[in-house]
Amino acid sequence: MQMRFGSKYQHLACDEGCNCTNLEGLATALSRREFFGAVALPIAASAAFGINSALAQDADDGAGRISSELASKADELAKADTDRLVTIFKDIHQNPELGFMEERTAAIVAKELSALGFEVQTGIGKTGVVGILRNGSGPTVMYRADMDANAVEEATGLPYASKVRVRRDDGSEAPVGHMCGHDAHVTWMLGMAKAMVALKEDWAGTMVLIGQPAEEPILGAKAMVDAGLYTTYAVPKPDFFIGIHTAPGPVGVVLSSGGPKMAGCDQLDILFKGVGAHGSLPQMSKDPVLMASLAMVEFQAIVSRTITPGETAVLTVGSIQAGSDNNVIPSTALLKANLRWYSPQVREQMLAGIKAISEGIARTYGMPEDQLPVITMKGGSTPLVNQDELAERMATTLKATIGEKNVVTELPPATGSEDVHLLLGPHTDVPFNYLIVGVADPAVYAAAVKEGKMWPYSAHNPNFVVDLRAIPFGTRVATISMLDLLQKT
């Protein structure tokens, strides 16, 4: 699978007149919900068939919010900067860093933004970076790129694939790979920053660019705010806040859609205490492995039997940790769980259910009141909601620039989660929009659809690939979006 994908990628990237633009089969995607990693995405065939024009950089002559002349300048700048940006992208890709360990990536962001004349502050919430560029009076627009990678062993077979392994704080060793495209996010932000500096005469206002740590554990945005983003570091309250995430949809397609898009989430650990004993003497034990196992099974009834059908509610136990030997009953067992929700009431129901079931099982198996399971809340996020008006405004500008068919505006709420919006801290009234940009080779995407797959690979998959054509394309999308929000009046 890995080799097949690798060789397909090589072939389609060549100049031998490959059928890169053959989108046959995408018609089957019509009105179907495509699931791009953490994001459920309805790619209508019309949108998918428009990919060619986006890659060819054709623009509609529709009414955009920035002039077509300015949009062309942004396109040219992205094009001219492609080699440099691809070099930056490959460098970050080959040197991925896990959440709160992004020293090297943060240094690249700081160096590049400083060179462009941004006021740069570093070390915010451990490894966060902020770059501010003031360019006359106008709105303040905040833009975020997350910098962290995943504990996933890359299997793309690309010449610049990551081979990095890291030792975590708990002593365990983990592979590290950019399997969520945050390397592209950083590169797009740096490309956009350079283009915006070159176009300084064409916009007015203040840009606040954020290199955010630790999105994957949903901790970095809050860490930056808690570290004093708006106080100690005096970042101004933005008038608009935007971000962009990759998705394994085809390069050339952008989503800008208002309303609730990504679920609220919580990460929590449930520690079962017991009494350890020899494996041959279960009567001497109070077995925490059994308690944790029973609890994990019963948790499933919370969603199926207590939550109103139709409500979004996900309860996943992603890790069970207990013991180390065949013949030893350990004294503790740990469950690591993850919740997804849109309604705060659903969240409360799931948390209450976890507590009641865990404690009930512990009591049933003889644990005293002071030895009941300990639940540790490890952080989370509220649901991500794009402001309708801003999403529509950005979609209008993008449609006029990259083609109407390439901008998808209908996107149902997904169970994936993000913490980007938590960067607003106390300023929850700021209009916010989170764009999704396709990064898969369109031909690879089309082939996957033809085979009946919903997507060629998902985010966090060892084969997640950012097609290099997405580097200038995402830069272009970011620049056009910033020009729109910072246009001179």
Residues that bind Zn ion (CB under 5 A): 180
Of the two residues 397 and 415, which places its CB atom closer to Zn ion in the complex?
415
Of residues 180 and 195, the one with the C-beta less far from Zn ion: 180
Shortest Cβ distance from residue 402 to Zn ion (Å)?
A: 22
User: Hey, which residues does 380 pair with through a beta bridge?
Assistant: 266
Element containing residue 110 per DSSP (H, E)? helix 103-115
Q: Is 346 exposed, middle or buried (0-12, 13-18, 19+ CB in 10 A)?
A: buried
Q: Taking the complex as a whole, how short is the minimal distance between the CB of residue 468 and Zn ion, in angstroms? A: 19
DSSP 8-state code for residue 150: B
The per-residue DSSP string of 212-263 comes to: E--TTTT-HHHHHHHTTTTTTT-PPPPSEEEEEEEEEEETT-EE---EEEE-
Q: CB-based contacts of 237: which residues, under 8 Å, 6+ apart? A: 140, 230, 427, 430
Minimum CB distance to Zn ion smaller for 179 or for 291: 179
Residue 146 CB, nearest approach to Zn ion (Å): 6
For residues 456 and 445, the answer to whether their CB atoms sit within 8 Å is yes
Name the DSSP class of 308. P
In the numeric block, the tokens 């390397």 are attached to 183
Contacts of 61 (CB under 8 A, 6+ apart): 68, 400
Taking the complex as a whole, the smallest distance from the CB of residue 245 to Zn ion amounts, in Å, to 6
Residue number, 341 or 434, with CB nearest to Zn ion: 434
Q: Are 130 and 229 in contact (CB under 8 A)?
A: yes
Q: Which two structure tokens, joined as six digits, stand for 103?
A: 């020293």
In this complex, which beta carbon is closest to Zn ion, that of residue 202 or of residue 216?
216
Residue type at position 12: L
Nearer to Zn ion, 212 or 382 (CB): 212
Going by C-alpha positions, the residue among 469, 413, 414 that lies closest to residue 437 is 469
Residue 459 beta carbon to Zn ion: minimum distance, rounded to whole angstroms: 5
CB of 215 to Zn ion, least distance (A): 6
How many other β-carbons are positioned within 10 Å of the β-carbon of residue 1? Answer: 9
- Cβ proximity to Zn ion: between 180 and 444 the closer is 180
Residue 414: CB minimum distance to Zn ion, A: 13
Nearest distance from C-beta of residue 442 to Zn ion, angstroms:
21
Closer Cβ to Zn ion, 180 or 483, answer by number: 180
Q: At closest approach, how far in Å is the CB of 186 from Zn ion? A: 12
Report d(CA 34, CA 11) in Å as an integer: 25
- Other C-beta atoms closer than 10 Å to the C-beta of 387 total 17
191: left (phi over 0), alpha (psi -120 to 50) or beta: alpha
Smaller CB separation from Zn ion, 135 or 386: 386
Counting every residue written for the chain, the total comes to 489
- Going through 39-108 in order, the beta strands assigned E by DSSP cover 39-42
Q: How far is the CB of 416 from Zn ion (least distance, A)?
A: 8
Q: Choose between 140 and 156: whose C-beta lies nearer to Zn ion.
A: 156
Find the residue with minimal CB distance to Zn ion: 180
